[in-house]
Amino acid sequence: LAIDPKLYQAHSALAEIHISESQTAADDAAKKASLQSAVDELDHAIEIAPRNFNAWERKVEVLKAMGDEAGAAAAQKQLDELKAGH
């Protein structure tokens, strides 16, 4: 990322690492922190490649895992609009 910060695949990969870390977190605070880091990386990936449907879908899943139903619904709505071509 230091060489090419626009490499959305690297941000997606980092998100997956954070998601994996959340599954072995010692407590809820550590789990939420890892999941939030995953969302942040997915946001970077989406910013670089807005039509990256996989990143959008993963973001929805992570937000649901965090208990953020409103955030997940908003992300799902954006994804649906992108898929519809709006």
Report pLDDT digits (tens) over 52-72: 999 999 999 999 999 999 999
The pTM of the full predicted model, rounded to 2 decimals, is 0.91
Q: 86 pLDDT exceeds 80?
A: no
Helices (H), the chain: 8-23, 28-48, 53-65, 69-84
